[in-house]
Each structure stands twice: as structure tokens, then as C-alpha cells.
Structure 1
Amino acid sequence: MRLRVEAKGGLQGRIKVPGDKSISHRSVMLGSLAEGKTEIEGFLTGEDCLSTVKAFQDMGVKIEGVGTDQMVVHGVGLRGLKEPKDLLDFGNSGTTTRLMLGILAGQKFYSVATGDDSLKSRPMARVTKPLSTMGGEFYGRDNANLLPITVVGKGELNSISYDSPVASAQVKSAVLLAGLYGEGVTEVREPAKSRDHTERMLEYFGANIEVDGLAVKVEGNPKLTGKKVVVPGDISSAAFLMVAAMITEGSEIIIENVGLNPTRDGVIEALRKMKGNFELLNQRDVNGEPIADIKVKSSQLKGTVIDGDLIPLLIDEIPILAVAASQAEGKTIIKDAEELRVKETDRIDAMVKELTRLGVEVKEREDGMEIVGKQQITGGVTCQSYHDHRIAMSMAVAGLIAEGAVEVEGAECINISFPNFKELLDSLSK
């Protein structure tokens, strides 16, 4: 599918973005492993999250309201999952895969995890290695680094104390979820703080969690109890509309009910550093997660440096921040972001190629990129999505200020995280 975007006047309106992807995944996972009923409100119906739903349905969990943002998960308890009759197909979802490998390692059955061609090229050893030290048994290509991966569950795992070489919520979460099936306490330490939705939700569902700086501990064999979960709007999705309003002259929008988890709000800090014109309204807490409404206006952005401990807090927002940087006065340097090379695609390479295609002066770094602003987006070109939703949406936002129409090839991948992206963008332009 091709998405065509043309330059528009100022964006105006009050909107909501789809539910937070990370929280949606975890609400189904922990709701399935809990005892009793979990009601989920605001679930993201994107393809990645539906891959998580399908996996648990394939393991015997009854889930009502699939395909809507209101779901009910009938939990089977920590040890109530059933052996799937077929492969567990996780589609394009790296989050589903890595977290599920932690859960599957603790089951008493055999399972095989697979996915689409993109997912089959993404590294899984970062979770299978620590999970193997816990007693998990994995077989697959490249020494269980690449899908398909067979998991031979033993039902009981060993608790470990693990020093993660990377600040990765997926690695941390896989080990913590596996720790639910171990005797004693499992601990994960990170070099920097990664998003903490798993530990927040584990505690909300009744697990014994201890957080001490960069270390997180979970006690094995807890009794998880079903809960009501309200999923806030996804800050990663909101970031695209924030940047769209900032770079489009005459804009003023309000994005309602956006999650502002302190391990996810790096894009807020980055846009503040870039002198973005926005404010947080009606700040509050819902089921352990902070949320707010965000009012955004057209902005005179300034170049900055985005690096260090800020990177794990905004890793998914770097593609759209690169678009913002093209409209900022001066140079913006993004570094310490090697993790971008092992996302749905190599996002450093992809963004450099596509920004160059749009006439932007950008230099590739091994760990990021350098972008010179303020530059005119040329337009009149067809950009590639690389089957990556965040690349596709970034190019679409760039098209809002291009001299000519911008078409994005393979834009159907946007449905992974933001199913109504084009409709919402159009609604702001009327």
C-alpha cells in the first residue's frame, strides 16, 4: 500500500492516540498468567499486540472482545497454559517474542516460536542466553539466536542474578517473567534505566517486586490476581503528532490521555532541549502509570545533542526526532543509539537514506546520525518504509511540509502500532 501525503496548513484539533503498545502487550500476558478476570480498556488493536493475544489463545486462554479496544482476559494462573497445537507465530513483534520466550521457558511443554521474515532476522540470543542459565532449553538457527526457536519447557527454572550488557526492557522483562517460574529471587541489573512497564504491572498484579536503582528483583511463584487495566495513549505514537504540529506552521493540537512513564518520556526531554512549544495538562496517575494531556503548538526548533542515558528512554522515537531535527536551526547529533540497527530494520541506515532522498543533509554515524537544519523537504518522491512502521510514519510527517507530494511505499506496516494514523492526521488538517 502507498500512502500519499501533501503539504498542509496548520494542524488543529483535540485527539486521542492508540493505546500504549508496551502496556497492551503486558496486560494480556499478565492477565493470562493471573487468576481470575482481567478487564482491559484502551487496548491497542495493532498487529503486534494482536500477535500476543493470538499466542495466548493458542495456549488455551479465553479472551473476549478481540479486535476491539475493550477486552476481557480469563486468566488461567501461572501454570495453567496448555501446549499449543501449532507453531506460535509472533508476526513482526519483537516484544512478543522476547517476553514470550521468558514465559515459555518456564512451562512444562514443548513450543516453537516463529514470525515473519523481518522477525526471523532479529537477534534473540540476548534473551535465550540468560534464560538458558536459568535452565531454559532452546534450539534454533545460529545457536538459538534466530527464529524459528524451539522451547523445551521443564516447568521449573533457576533464579539468577543477571547483569544485562544492554539497557533493554525486552531483555529485563524476559528474565523477570522467567523468574516467576523460579524458586527464590531473580535479579536483573542494567547499565542504564530502561522502560519499567513490566515491573510496574507485575507489582500491580500482586508479584513481590523490589526496585533499587538500576536493579530489579522479583520473587518466584507469586499468586497473580486479575485486575482492571486502563491503557493510556502511547507516547511513541503521540510523538509523531507532536512533531507534526511543531514543524507545521499555524498548528495547535491537544493529545489526550498520553502515558508519561518516566522510563519512556525521553522524547519529552528531547523536544524540550529542541525548544519545542508544548505543555503537559491534567497530569494524573492510572493503575500505576502517570498520564497527561499534551498541548502542542508550532515551534522554532533548535539543534541539540541526543545521547547517553536519554537514548533508552526514547529509542523508538529517534526516527521522528530525526525529522524534527531537519527543521531545527543548527546541527542535531544523535549518538549512543547502536540499538537502532537491530530494530524492525536498521533504522539508522533507513533514516539516513530516506532523509537524503528528501533533500536533507544528514551524515551517518555507527551509533546514530548528524542532521543539519533548517532544511526544505523537497518532496515529489517515493520513500521506502522498509516494512517498519516508525520509518513509514516519519516519512509521512516529513511530507506535511514538503514542496511536493511524498508517497510512502509499504505503508500498511503502520497498522502494527497506529491503525488509524492517516485518518487522524487528516482529521487535524480540516
Structure 2
Amino acid sequence: MEPQQAPAGAGTRRWIRSARVQDAALALAVIVPEAFFFGAPIAPGTRWPAHLVLAAFALPEAVALLFRRRWPMAVYLTVWALAVGASVLTILTDFHFTPYFGILVALYTVARQCRRPAALTALAVTAVPVGLDTADILTSLGSPGYRTAALVTALAFYLPLTIAAWGVGRWSRATAAAADHDRLALARARLAVTHERVRIARELHDIVANAVAVIVMQAETARATAAADPPRAEETLGRIEDLGRGAMAELRRLLRLLRTADASVEDGVRRRGLADLAPLLEDVRRAGVLIDLEVHGSPAHLDESVDLTAYRLVQEAVTNITKHAGPGSHAEVRITWADVLRLDVVDDGAGHLTATRRDLSTGHGLIGLAERIALFGGELSATPYRSGFRVTATLPLAPGAVAAERAG
């Protein structure tokens, strides 16, 4: 495969979009008109020392404007000092250069990138070069009769441009902040949607996938025993019917919740807990797995969400045993109450696995369990154990304390 070539002109576009190139072009566009509008480089009788002095003020100003985005306040102070120095020198000598356009660009940048106190300070001290430029205009007039008109003209020129540069900078900053806020809100909304989709997938797996898997496995058992043991097959079919009705009822509740605004997905599911393990384990036994339950320690009160998570872990683990170990395998569920709740589900892998059962796995069960347990600061381990498999999890007895500790 040949490497893809960049589109023609892509390098030129990147070069033109470079912030440094844009600032260089802006500096050039500011300094050249400024030198001719506020200075007199080609006035009759202008000598080369005056040109050198003009360059001594204009060139540092242009260089400073190249870094206006990186150091806005430092660049403003540099341009301000150059403007004040040039104006004072103009008033005291026959040199003529009162720069102002560079001040506007630097003032805009400070208003755009700095906080309000710095922006207001820059706006206030801009009055110094503006005042010096106005004073130079007034002192250059020989007739006092023109000074009032010159003062009004100077103020009408300097004040609107100064306020406009500062105001546009503040407006641009507010617009950018609003855009950032909207982008952040959109990112949060997308993240919330992603989390909700994950929760829906997790609940659908826990409600539907496990129930369907057990139904299929019990249907296999019923088909295998129908001829030899009709009563057992009939009993199994009845159990399959109950499982299907239960799964459908919970699915209807979940779908109803999904159509209701501001509702939690978990609210649509019947709350289960470790107290509901007996029917779950009986379903596994009906599928042909020999399973025992051991409880160590004194049971403690669990938050509903932790109790549900513990139940889902045992449900997923024992369902996986029926799918991957098969009938005839032996399993054990151990619940240990201590400083934390510890759950162990172990099987010996000694069952008779049929080919059809390999298609019952969704591949998302343990992922969903890990997500559930991580929400409470617990740990999950799922690894091969001897000839079988072992799922171990620990859950805190007080999830609220864990959440507060994480927030702190």
C-alpha cells in the first residue's frame, strides 16, 4: 500500500494558519501605516538620524507584537513604553513620531486574553499616550483659535478607537468563554449518553441475556429427558415459562423507564439481593450443575445498590458455569462477611459442555460486573482455577463512605 500524500496546498494552508505568521503580518500591517501616519519619514528635510530614531521605536514594537498571544501584558507594557517615549521625544524635540496603532493591537490582546482587572488597568493607562499625542497636536498649532477644534477632533479620533479595541477584545473573550462552555456542556452530554448506553447494555444483559441462557439450557434438559422422564420434562418446561414471563416483565419495566424522562435505568428493575440467591441457584441446579452455598461471618446490612451488585455477580458467575462448564460440573458459592463483603464462585470445570452452549455468551458479562464493582471501590478477579474457573470480588459494606473518600 502506497503512503497517502497530503493534498496539494496543505503545507501552504498550514503555513498561512500559523499564529506566528499571522502575528508577523499583523505587526507589518500596523507598523508601516503607523510610521507614515503618525511619523514623517519622507517629509522634506528629514535626515537619516531621524530615520534611525524612528526605526529604534518602530522595530522593537513590531518584534513585541509577534509575542502578543504568549505574553499579552508584557507586550502591552513594552508597546506602551515605546509609545510614551516616542511621544515625549516628539514634544521635547523636533522629532515627530507618536505611535498609536500598536497600542490598539496590544490593548485588544490584553482585553481578549487577560482577566478584567488587568484589562481595565490597560485601558486606564492607555490614556497616557493618548494624552501625550493630543498634547503634541495642541502645542503644534500656532493659533489658539484652532485648539478647541483640534482637541475635539483628537478626542473624537482616539477615544472611540481605544474603547472599541478594548470592547471588541472583551466581547471576543466572552464569546470564546461561551463557546468553551457550550463545548464542555456538549462533551458532558455525550459522556452522559455514553454512560447511559453502558448502563442500558448492562441491565439488558443482566435481565435478558442471563434469563435467555438459562431458558435455553433448561430447554435442552427438557428435550433430553422428555421421552425417559415426562414429569421432569413438564416441570422443566413450566420453569422455562416462569423464567420467560419474569424476563419479559422486567424487560417491559426497563423499556417503560427508557421512555420516561429523568428516570434512572436501575429504577425499572426489580431490586434483588443476596437474599434472592436461593431461586437463582435452584435454576442452576435444574440445568444440571451441582452447586453449594456457604456463608461465613455475620451478615451485615447492605445498601440496595451494593446488594444488587453482589447478586448480579453471583448471577453472572453461576450462569457462566452452566454455559461454559456444563451439566455435571460442581460449583461452590462462598460469601464471607468481614470488614468487606467477599464473594467467591468456583467451579471444577468437570461438566459436559454441548456445542450449542458456546453461542450463549455475549462477551460483556464480566465487563459489566467490573464496571458495577468499580463504582463502589471494589475489586474483581476472574481467572482459571485448577481445572475450572474462579470469580472473586470484594465490595465495601459502606459505599457512601468510599464515595466521600474519593470525592475528597
TM-score range, shorter chain: under 0.3
TM score, norm. by length of structure 2:
0.22
Higher fraction of helix: 2
TM score, norm. by length of structure 1:
0.21
Higher fraction of strand: 1
Higher relative CO (Cα under 8 Å, sequence separation at least 6) belongs to 1
